[in-house]
Structure 1
Amino acid sequence: MQLKTFKTIKERWEDIWIFGLDISNTAIVGMMKLQLENIVVIGIATSGLVSIGYLLLIDSLWISIFPAIIIFLINAIAITAFYQYDQTARSRIKARQAIIEITFETIHNGPLQNLDRVLRLLKGEDLPIHKLLPELEKELQHLNQELRGIYEFWQQETFTQEPSLYLGNRTVINLQDPLHEILYQVYSHTLERDFPCFRTLKLKIRTFEPIDESNLTLENKRGLCRFLEEALCNVGKHATGVTCLQVTLSLSGGCYTLSIVDDGLGVKSSRESRGTQQFKNLARQIKGKFRRVPLSPQGTICELSWH
């Protein structure tokens, strides 16, 4: 019986073969992201290498495929592990950043507003000392309560893990409730706050229509609540002489709009505040538009719209 002889490629070509497979394997594995995808690609690539080796073996050509398979498997394990680590690290950073943003919004719309009132008392109002001190004491006590309330809220939030929004004075609303209901709660709570311009209000019009929330996440709803809260705070602080306030959540022509309109003097400033930056970012998240423009002869409209 005659034994079949096999030919082998030259050593340098075998090195080039293995090196080329290593490069291509690394590129293939680098594009894999999902666990199931990894398994499928590894199975296909390994089967392909074995098939190539078998077909060449039929033609009496021996080529080394096992080093290539081993290198591919090592690359797959290493790159997949690195990808999973990278994704976990990115998720933690994103979650930490979200907590920072939520905490800032809570402080900005609560304690910082009270601190602003303290500064206005010290700078703006020409009160005798015996009247100024009681006002300052009241505001500082309120500030102290707000800070303690935020601390207690975050302790409870960490324990319960429920999606909620802190409004101050230990008022917490559930973000899983319908949007028109939680916006009404934000509206009612904010108008009870002691801002100077609220004292001149004579007419308050509000309409919160039920809407389709399927395209909104809980964080989107949180952002809309904070938008309404800050817009109302701005009216209370800056809309001098305001007598009419109109707040609406409505649907028109397939477009949802949350609008806050007042007839006060307002503040004209070219500087983009932190709140404006947040609302523009929220508009991008919900694929909508944000605008704050003066009205003629006086007044301001502040609104978010989205489809």
Structure 2
Amino acid sequence: MKIPAYAVSQIISAVLDARPLLNTWDNAWEYTWIFAWGFLGIAIARITKSFLTNLVVIGVVSSSLVLICYLLLTWGWWVPIVPAVLVLVINGMELTALYQYDKALRSRIQARQAIIERTFETIHNGPLQSLAKVLKLVRYQDLPMQELLPELEKELEKLDRELRGIYDFLQREPPTEDSSLYLGNHLVLNLQDPLHEILYQVYTHTLERDFPCFRTIKLKIRTFEPLDEQCMNTEHKRGLCRFLEEALCNVGKHATGVTCLEVSCTASQGWYTLSIIDDGLGINSFREGRGTQQFINLAQQLKGKFLRSPLSPKGTICELSWPVTKF
């Protein structure tokens, strides 16, 4: 009896008090209403990406949804409010958590890859160079065994020291700390120092290494000008130092008969240029090694260009240029 009584009361109130009767949407429009608020929650999660910001936005939008439903109710329309609020909050909050997890996961992967790259660069310009020298002694030197064995023993002992030095460095300073550069022989450079000073230390240390072609150099020309480093981070500076180190190592290994070495880092016509020029025979190979790929990537990061080509009548130029303007 209560239900008919309520129905009669609604009818009487609608006639006497001009109270509107409640109307409802079709099922299709109600589902559309719920889905629309669910998609809005997804959009909010994609735009905000921050938990606190997302919480504030979801609270404001949920309050707006309740207010809209109340206004529609006063006009005589009953719309689904609980399902719409639930789907809005769930989509907005859960997807934000998923985005935060995905962001953290990508950050860990990038950090891991950066550690791998830095460790490989340190090994590539140190122990691998010594290992290449050992292989060259074994393959291409026609030395008697009594002369070859002492040379191999000396190089292998140096290789052992270099590997242990890298291990000690990584134990002292975790790879996640990117403010230092290890060059070998326990020499660690601070990448917060001015770039021209760091490059000079790399130049000096590398030329002290025991490469056969360094012994024939009679003339060394060097120029390291101070640079504007406002737009450079430590990764850029690390890459430039590794570029200089490997280019000099290539001169020491391959520039047969080199007598003149010119190394410069200068600014001209809106460009910085770090170049290494020698007059040795060099090698004519178009194969891109790991080092070449790294320098091409570095040039792309600096919005610059990388060049390595033979000179006439002999010699090789290895050059990295990047614009003075912000990149």
What TM-score do you get using the length of structure 1 for normalisation?
0.95
Comparing 44-53 with 278-287, greater Cα deviation is found at: 44-53
Aligned mates of 2:239, 2:315 — CA distance in 1: 24
Q: Please point out which of 243, 250, 266 is paired with 2:259.
A: 243
Between the aligned partners of 2:175 and 2:147, the Cα distance in structure 1 is 43
2: CA distance between counterparts of 1:19 and 1:178?
A: 58
Deviations 1:251-277 (A, max 9, x none): 111211111111111100121111100
Kindly state the Cα deviation for residue 28 of structure 1 after the two structures are TM-superposed.
3.6
2:23 matched to which residue of 1?
8
Give SS of 1:79's match.
helix
| 1:38 equivalenced with 2:65 (yes/no) | no
Structure 2 counterparts to residues 153-164 of structure 1, below 5 A: 153-158=169-174, 161=177, 163-164=179-180
State the Cα deviation string for residues 35-83 of structure 1 (Å, max 9, x = none): 4542453244224323322332232222222321221111111101101
State the partner residue of 2:239: 223
Decide which of 73, 91, 99 is 2:107's aligned counterpart. 91
Question: What root-mean-square deviation, in Å, do the aligned CA atoms of Structure 1 and Structure 2 show?
Answer: 1.8
SS across alignment from 1:158: coil
After TM superposition, the structure 1 stretch with the greater mean CA deviation from structure 2, 154-163 or 58-67, is 154-163
Give the Cα–Cα distance (whole angstroms) in 2 for the partners of residues 33 and 76 of structure 1. 10
Local SS of the residue matching 1:103 = helix
Q: Flag the 1:104–1:46 CA change in 2: closer, same or farther, 3 A.
A: same
| Alignment partners' CA distance in 2, 1:246 and 1:54 | 80
Distance 1:205 1:6 in 2: 95
Structure 2 letter corresponding to 1:269: S
Q: 1:201 aligns with which of 217, 220, 230?
A: 217
Q: How does 1:167-182 map to 2 (within 5 A)?
A: 167-182=183-198
Taking the aligned partners of 1:91 and 1:60, their CA distance within structure 2 comes to 52
What is the alpha-carbon distance in structure 2 between the residues aligned to residue 292 and residue 215 of structure 1? 25
Q: Give how far 1:286 is off.
A: 1.3
Measure, in 2, the Cα distance between the counterparts of 1:283 and 1:82.
Answer: 35
CA–CA separation in structure 1 for the residues paired with 2:176 and 2:108: 20
Is 1:116 matched with 2:116?
no
Match in the other structure for 2:322: 306
Q: Taking structure 1 as reference, are residues 159 and 293 closer, same or farther at Cα in structure 2, changes over 3 Å only? A: closer
Q: Deviations over 1:185-231 (max 9, x none)?
A: 10000000010110110000111111111111101111110000000
Range 74-83 or range 152-161, more displaced: 152-161
Q: Which stretch of structure 1 is more off in the superposition, 273-282 or 53-62?
A: 53-62
Out of 45, 52, 55, the position equivalent to 2:68 is 52
* TM superposition shift of 1:181: 0.6
**What SS does the corresponding residue of 1:268 show, helix, strand or coil?**
coil
Structure 2: distance between partners of 1:72 and 1:185: 59
SS across alignment from 2:174: helix
Cα 1:180–1:192 change in 2 (3 A) is: same
Partner residue of 1:142? Answer: 158
List structure 1 segments (4+ residues) > 6 angstroms apart after TM superposition.
Answer: none
Letter in 1 for 2:249: C
How far off is 1:31 after superposition? 3.4
| Cα distance in 2 between the residues matched to 1:37 and 1:159 | 33
Pairing partner for 1:274 from 290, 293, 299:
290
Is the counterpart of residue 23 in structure 1 residue 48 in structure 2? no
Q: Are 2:312 and 1:285 aligned?
A: no
**Could you tell me which residue of structure 2 aligns to residue 101 of structure 1?**
117
Give distance in 1, aligned partners of 2:208 and 2:259: 16
Partners of 2:275 and 2:178 lie apart in 1 by 28
Q: How much has 1:160 moved relative to structure 2?
A: 9.8
Question: How many angstroms apart in 1 are the aligned matches of 2:145 and 2:39?
Answer: 79
Q: Tell me if structure 2 keeps the 8 A contact 1:6–1:62.
A: no
The separation in 2 between residues aligned to 1:27 and 1:37, in whole angstroms, is 13
In the alignment, structure 1 segments of 5+ residues that lack a partner are none
| 1:264 aligned residue | 280
Give the superposition deviation at 1:171. Answer: 0.9
Show the counterpart of 2:271.
Answer: 255
Decide which moves more: 264-273 or 30-39.
30-39
Superimposed CA distance per residue, residues 138-189 of structure 1 (whole angstroms, 9 cap, x where no aligned partner): 0000000000000000001129946111101111111111111111110000
TM-score (ref. length: structure 2): 0.89
3-state DSSP of counterpart to 1:67: helix
Q: Distance between the aligned counterparts of 1:118 and 1:306, measured in 2?
A: 36
Which stretch of the first structure deviates more once superposed, 8-17 or 284-293? 8-17
Structure number with greater Rg is: 2
